[in-house]
Chain A
Amino acid sequence: MSGKGYVYKNEPLIFELSAPGRRAYSLPALDVPASDLAEVLPEDQLRREPAALPEVSEVDVVRHFTRLSQRNHGVDLGFYPLGSCTMKYNPKVNEVVANLDGFTGVHPLTPEELVQGALQLMYEMQGYLAEIGGVDEVSLQPAAGAHGEFTGVSIIRAYLEDRGEGHRHKIIIPDSAHGTNPATAVVAGCRTVEVKSDERGGVDLESLKAVVDEDVVCLMLTNPNTLGLFDENIHEIAEIVHEAGGLLYYDGANLNATMGYARPGDAGFDVVHFNLHKTFATPHGGGGPGSGPVGVKKELADFLPVPVVRKTGDRYFLDYSVPKTIGRVKSFHGNFGVVVKAYAYIRSMGPDGLKRVSEDAVLNANFLMRKLARDYHLTYDRICKHEFVVSGVRQKERYGVKTLDIAKRLLDYDFHAPTVYFPLIVPEALMVEPTETESRETLEAFAEAMAAIAREAAEDPDKVTGAPHTTFVKRLDEARAVRQPDVAFKGDLEEK
């Protein structure tokens, strides 16, 4: 044993804990007459050797995964200022209600009259999101933000095609955009055209005018954008794109900044997606699940994926008869279990609470930005929204300490690092999103750590470039993981 306290430094792989004959399961005995396997299944379809799954006891399973959980940072352990990801606290009551049997145990193809509670929840959620986003109709089907983007762009293309404008194939994307935006455009069969940001961090209007033409499908925009800056020209941007016959797509990753202050639908956006796992406090699950509902203005409602939940009288039902639907983007009705948590969150915050969420998110970000700006270069010196970007250029130029090193050093101070090297237009970017669920004391402690690292960079740069020093593993060799790929364990198989 070594490392921190009583936890093994290297937790073995579950396969390395396996011993033939151990078991962690308990199943009832067969209570019906057995069929003859050889008779009911063709010989050549039978599996000859069981899959080489581990053989362990329940104690082994629990200790293994519990130990692994301890080798991980999460919001419940501390500050997680990962920009663009809105790592806010995930209320426990939402976990409790989402785990009710009446939600978890419901089969998606149950007759509608027997799932009126689930349908009511979805129907109301569609309405809440439409109100918050300033749009007319909402589909809860997409499973994440990028899935929402794909759904939204598919809706726009179908709408244009329906108007005889199927030739349009260009999607305009600012150079500050998230990677999913251009990737989505290409999956949807379009070509991307990049538009530059101006010196205030917004879309450069002249560059935009230069690229809009009769081939434009839409502009995909995050507002506030990935610099955490609200695009003050949004009205003009909408006019320019609309005049050319294109539409405006809103990437809702940053909605946490403006609830109750601005609605994308009012600002001219035609299609929006929401990230329930960001704005509406559902946990990120170590990478997912998320939920990425899409909202549209009424002209586009005929193209929504099916089914949509509707109501006649006091009965809720799944409507599959959306006339020009794009079809489906996944099975069933979306990530319902995530929707339940987001619904509970909206109900517990209410309209004033949500507005207050955005206020505190923005206040916290500005407060922290001013503190970090003492030691780190602030590229865009103006009021930010819920997040901001500083740069480690000074530290790199003067002391050879890269932003990656600063990020790794933060781990030694028990903080998760901000998002780094994104957005791409800021060199050595550190993108910080504190969220509204952090206290002033936490922000001050983080600012102190960042200041301390800036001092270390000047006085003892090796301490920073060699970080992290206190984590279970030291800096990992990513290049080797590509050069000598090992993405599935084979060690125990070779022994045999």
Chain B
Amino acid sequence: MVHSPYLPNTEADRRAMLAELGLESVEDLFRDIPEKVRFRGSLDLPPALSEPELLTHMKTLAGRNANASEWALFLGGGAYDHFIPSVVGHVIGRSEFYTAYTPYQAEVSQGVLQTIYEYQSLITRLTGMDVANASMYDGASAMAEAALIACAATRRKKVVVPSTVSPEYRETIRTYTAGQRIEVVLAPYDGETGTADLSELEKLVDGDTAAVLLQHPNYFGCLEDPEEVSRLAHGVGALFVIGVDPISLGVLRAPGEYGADIAVGEGQPLGNPLSFGGPYLGFFAATEKLIRRMPGRIAGATVDKDGDRGFVLTFQTREQHIRREKATSNICSNEALNALAAAVYLTVMGREGLVEVAKLCLHKAHYTRERLSALPGFRTPFRAPFFKEFVVSGPRPLEELNRSLAQRRMLVGPDLGRHYPELEGSFLVAVTEKRTRAEIDGLADGLGGLA
């Protein structure tokens, strides 16, 4: 006998319902499954746990993970330990939001729709772009979809990507473009600066190029020259797609100002916890011209029958549920709750707060780099300006360094050798506003002893 708090039908209910249906047993409801494919065994899964047992088990599993509440994480590579204001968790914990789904019935979904509209507005203000959608799965898939949109818009089949774009993004772009036989051309980086080699890039970008994809700050944390890459791309009629760290936009110029056609990025830093890699959100913003090619949901303002303001899903003829094989993307469920978290975060931080967060990151990162580069045996190989993350090459493998740092409950990384063999022995260090001077000095002390 199964007793579950989530199953309200009692045995008496079941009997009564079956009787009303003129059936003898529940089995009769499964007669349409042919015997050949009928599963007759019992699923080999662990037996049910009661709520207290479940809590104990889950706490045991959670207890075996180094986490940001007890560790000073200088880890980067696309996910960052930024501060999340308490209000964010409070709002996304409202079950009117989190137990809803895509707002198909607008009249009873004004909460979700208005928050999406506000989220889109916040993202356009942050990026300086005209329009934004309601979210993509993450930064990597957002950039991959941007590549597909660029190919569709230009009717070309090649995208050029400098190797300073995150390796995980590049792998995602490859998977997304493989089926459509889109060529992904890798452009090298300059080993001195740690940024895309512009003269090499210029040679690879031509009249067949649908888009140049850049990340800024790039995977090494270095600032690229987006203005120049934008010019390069537009010079051959290609689109310029940029991936940005939203926090950096507190101090760095907005993509709209240097001519980006599509601006995407990982929205995790905006109020979303690290969560071992997800759920995060990809933000996706573009110029007005591209609105009918955008992937995913878009909320728009309109009026109701009485002339009052209200919000609906709009431009739905782009989407799979209307256009099927002619849709601009196959995305359906997105990362709405993470986008809501981002909207609340940007609202809480506001005009001044985002600048302040960005500056804290910037100053602390620069202080950290100064401390680490002064340590014997450690070098910071790239000289391009950076924001909150930078490359360090150490005297020993990262694994060893981290094993020692772990005793101080600190970690740096990831290692760069796996994706950049020439950078064997180098790793990333990311510094958010959460890192204190004591932690940074502790990191320098910890590493200093390992030369």
Contact = CB atoms under 8 A, between A and B. Distances in A.
A344 B13 contact: no
A332 B304 contact: no
B261 to A, nearest CB: 17
Interface residues of B, number: 206
Contacts of A95: 93
A192 B30 CA distance: 32
A23 to B, nearest CB: 6
Given A266-B39, A364-B9, A72 B306 contact: no
B138 A143 contact: yes
B325 A182 contact: yes
Nearest to B436: A31
Contact of A47 (B78, B93, B96, B254): B254
Contact of A183 (B103, B124, B325, B336): B325
A262 interface: yes
Interface stretch (B64-72, B200-208, B234-242, B373-381): B64-72
A40 B362 contact: yes
Nearest to A9: B308
B327 A183 contact: yes
B350 interface: yes
A32 B440 contact: yes
- Between A154, A338, A383, the greatest number of chain B beta carbons within 10 A of the residue's beta carbon is seen for A383
Interface string A283-309: 111111111000000000000010000
Contacts of B139: 331
- Between A360, A408, A473, the greatest number of chain B beta carbons within 10 A of the residue's beta carbon is seen for A473
A115 B73 CA distance: 14
A210 interface: no
Interface in B1-26: 2, 4-9, 13-14, 16-18, 20-21, 26
A105 B308 contact: no
A400 interface: no
- Between B54, B64, B93, B105, the greatest number of chain A beta carbons within 10 A of the residue's beta carbon is seen for B105
Contact of A107 (B54, B68, B356): B68
B278 A332 contact: yes
Interface in A76-117: 76-77, 80, 82, 85, 87-91, 93, 95-97, 99-111, 114-117
Contacts of B275: 103-104, 106, 336-337
A351 B299 CA distance: 41
Contact of A53 (B2, B137, B297, B351): B351
B51 interface: yes
Nearest to B341: A285
A72 to B, nearest CB: 3
A473 B303 CA distance: 9
A258 to B, nearest CB: 7
Contact of B51 (A53, A54, A348, A481): A348
Interface stretch (A11-19, A390-398, A453-461): A11-19
Nearest to A117: B64
Contacts of A374: none
B186 interface: no
A191 B58 CA distance: 45
B123 to A, nearest CB: 8
Contacts of B382: none
Contacts of A24: 85, 87, 347-350, 353
Contacts of B33: 230, 232, 258, 261-262
Nearest to B403: A111
A353 B48 contact: yes
Interface in A139-172: 143-147, 149-150, 153-154, 157
Contact of B130 (A416, A475, A482, A488): A488
Contacts of A1: none
A488 B124 contact: yes
B278 A289 contact: yes
Interface string B39-50: 100111111111
Interface string B392-412: 000000010011001000010
Interface string B353-373: 111110110111011000000
A65 B43 contact: no
B155 interface: no
Interface in B275-333: 275-281, 291, 297-306, 308-312, 314-315, 319-327, 329-333
A330 B145 CA distance: 11
Interface in A204-238: 229-230, 232, 234-235
B451 interface: no
Contact of A179 (B5, B63, B70, B321): B321
B81 interface: yes
B63 A180 contact: no
Contacts of B98: 74, 90, 283-286
B347 to A, nearest CB: 5
Nearest to A382: B32
Q: Which 10 A-B pairs have the closest CB atoms?
A: A332-B277, A102-B62, A189-B179, A350-B48, A117-B64, A285-B337, A287-B336, A72-B111, A105-B67, A108-B277
9 contacts: A13-B118, A25-B349, A101-B70, A102-B65, A107-B73, A143-B141, A189-B181, A348-B49, A348-B51
Given A267-B37, A482-B315, 14 more contacts: A40-B362, A51-B126, A69-B97, A93-B51, A97-B62, A144-B332, A154-B175, A262-B33, A277-B333, A331-B278, A331-B280, A332-B79, A362-B26, A487-B132
